[in-house]
Each structure stands twice: as C-alpha cells, then as structure tokens.
Structure 1
C-alpha cells in the first residue's frame, strides 16, 4: 500500500481505463467521485451499513468535494482510501484520497458528509449503535457525537 494512504483503514486498487480520459488527455474530474463512491461503499459494506438498507435504514450522501492536486493520466494503477474523520449524532464525515499505487503520488483528496436515514420516508435518524461501534473498531478510536 502507498505510504500516502497508510492511515486509511479501507483501500482498494484499480487501473485507470482508457475510457476515463477526457479530450485534454487526463482523467475526467467526474471519475474521481465514482472512485470515492467505490471506497465509501466498500467502507459501508465492511461496517454493515449497506446491508442495513433492507431494514429501512441506510446512508444518503449530503455533500461531497474534491481537491485535485495532480492530473491522472493513462496508464496508471491507483489506490483509493476512505476513512471517517467525524461522527455526529446523525452524520458521518468521511475523507478520501486517490494515489498512485506504485509511486505513492497523491492525486486527489476529497470528503463527504453522509446522513443516516429511514427509507423510504427519508427521515434523518441517529446512527445505529452497532454502526457507530463498527466505525470505532475499524478506525481504532472513539468519536464524540456531540463534537
């Protein structure tokens, strides 16, 4: 794993596909959000949040952002990381990073705020205790919901 992503408990590797390039010869900016989503869903699967959707409880993305540090060009092997930086009563703030899997070059940093809701009413609910505990175990630290 790239040293750049050593503090991210969830990482996944993937190649850049030629079709991800745009007319300017680098990966199109929208692809980074797909990569962030892949890392986020991997994280949520690991903590059991994706599977909770069957019970009517699940995540919804409230905000997302990206800081593009360097362009990614074909060919490249990348690694995406996801971690939780904050957990409130109903929301989870995540950080993402995209780096070169071989050289460690950091290409992009990003973030997102995810809210736990009850489907199909879209009512905001408290993060279930078992999800909170799973995040704290994965991250190796506790989170104060009041912060």
Structure 2
C-alpha cells in the first residue's frame, strides 16, 4: 500500500449529482485535479512555474471507479508520486468517502514542460528534491 503524504478534504456539492442521484463521474476528475494542484503547491511547483516558465503538463489521467458518492458529504483525496523519471513523474490518487472507503483510484502522468521554449524539460532538481522529501525517499 502506498503512503499518501498529500491529503485534501473536499465538500461534495449538490450540483455534482446526476440524474441517478449520485455524484457524476466528471466530478471525480475535478477532485483529482484539486489533489494534483494541492500536491504541486506543496512541492513549490506552481511557484517555480511562475518564476521559470517550466511547469507541469498533464500527459494522461485515468480513473477506476469503485463505488458511488452521494450528496451531502465530504471526500478525502490523497496523492502520492509513485515514479520519478527525467522529464516526467507519475501520481496516484485515492478518493475516499466519509467512511474512508476507497471510492476511486486515479493515475496521472505529468510531464515537465518549458512553456517559453515549447518543449519538454528536465524536472528541476529542487522540485525533485521536494518530491523525494515529501514522499520520504532517501538516496
């Protein structure tokens, strides 16, 4: 089982329900996005992007749905980086219901991108170090 160092509590909104009375699958991706950005903020990636022009670009995102969510309620979304490459890293997210039961799991592939040069970029060393610190990875 993964350690998830980044946790974010979110409120389910009435407007996220669909015709069938449960939270629509599109909302799960909104929760995953919030989790992703929360992680990026924790490691200073959003700040680094604004200063250097090198930042994250979502290459792929997939989600496996295990159980429905219902309004009213809250979810806990937790994230972990599971693999760090030269120019990209993978993130794993879990969406937990009010009873901390897994409602969905998602995986993202994030590519570092130089928005000024319009090309992939190497993960900045300070960002790599912050990921490793947050994940408790020692070299």
* TM-score, normalised relative to structure 1: 0.89
Secondary structure in structure 2 of the residue aligned to 1:141: coil
> 75, 82, 87: which is aligned to 1:85?
82
**Aligned partners of 1:142 and 1:26: how far apart in 2?**
42
Corresponding position of 1:100:
97
Could you list the runs of 5+ residues in structure 1 that have no partner in the other structure? none
Residues 14-67 of structure 1, C-alpha deviation per residue, up to 9 Å, x if partnerless? 211100001111111111111111111111011111111221110000000000
Q: Which runs of 4+ in 1 moved over 2 A?
A: none
Query: Considering only aligned residues, what root-mean-square deviation do their CA atoms show, in Å?
Result: 1.6
Which deviates more from structure 2 when the two are superposed, residues 79-88 or residues 45-54? 45-54
CA contact (8 A) 2:3 2:135 kept: no
Q: Report how many aligned residue pairs link the two structures.
A: 138
Residues 84-123 of structure 1, C-alpha deviation per residue, up to 9 Å, x if partnerless? 000000001000000024x111100001000001013331
* TM-score, normalised relative to structure 2: 0.94
Which deviates more from structure 2 when the two are superposed, residues 112-121 or residues 90-99? 112-121
Is residue 60 of structure 2 the alignment partner of residue 63 of structure 1?
yes
Is residue 17 of structure 2 the alignment partner of residue 21 of structure 1?
yes
